[in-house]
């Protein structure tokens, strides 16, 4: 796993991040950073901006997302989640990345659904307008 600590990864994230690249696995298991929480809570505010953030990644089946913590994933808290698209690029790295904290950099987009024409099971939010209130 230590050999993975400096891998460069290309990700694209539904709702939030497009063309993200990661410097690899983060060695400790602290929760996501404040930047992740800010972007997940208010993606429209970050629309078009490049951000670097730390998050827990899951690449399982239909659950291909970035989460604030594993606990948020287990309780499915969508306001603490960013969904990934174009995750097939990570297929070879899935065994090493899944269930770990990573640091990613990418451009925030609020709606990667192409005005509702793209649907993905397991996405953090059903639509960009949905809130958890």
Bridge partners of 22, per DSSP, are 9, 104
What does the pLDDT read at residue 87? Answer: 79
Residue 19: CB atoms within 10 A of its CB come to: 14
Residue partners of 60: CB distance under 8 A and separation at least 6: 98
Tell which wins on pLDDT, 98 or 2: 98
Q: Is residue 27 assigned to a domain?
A: no
pLDDT score, position 83: 82
CATH number at residue 75: 2.40.50.500
- So what's the pLDDT on residue 54? 93
- Which residue, chain included where needed, has tokens 């070879």? 92
What pLDDT, on the 0 to 100 scale, is given for residue 32? Answer: 82
Residue 114, domain extent: 34-125
What pLDDT score does 35 carry?
A: 94
Backbone torsions φ then ψ of 75, nearest 5 degrees: -95, 5
114 inside domain: yes
Q: What predicted TM-score, i.e. pTM, was given to this entire model?
A: 0.69
Does 73 map to a domain?
Answer: yes
Q: Please indicate, yes or no, if residue 83 is contained in any of the structural domains.
A: yes
Is 14 a domain residue?
Answer: no
Is 92 contained in some domain? yes
Digit-coded pLDDT (tens) for 80-104: 999 876 778 888 888 999 999 999 8
Q: How high is the pLDDT of residue 100?
A: 93
Structural domains counted in the chain: 1
- In this prediction, residue 43 carries a pLDDT of 86
């Amino acid at each position: 796993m230590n050999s993975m600590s400096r891998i460069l990864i290309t990700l694209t994230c539904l709702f939030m991040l497009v063309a993200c690249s990661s410097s690899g696995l983060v060695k400790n298991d602290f929760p996501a950073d404040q930047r992740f929480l800010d972007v997940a809570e208010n993606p429209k505010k970050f629309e078009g901006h490049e951000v670097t953030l730390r998050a827990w990644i899951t690449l399982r089946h239909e659950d291909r997302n970035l989460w604030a913590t594993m606990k948020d994933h287990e309780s499915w808290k969508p306001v603490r989640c960013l969904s990934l698209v174009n995750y097939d690029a990570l297929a070879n790295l899935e065994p090493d990345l899944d269930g770990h904290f990573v640091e990613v950099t990418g451009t925030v987009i609020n709606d990667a659904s192409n005005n509702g024409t793209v649907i993905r099971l397991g996405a953090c939010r059903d639509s960009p307008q949905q809130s958890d209130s």
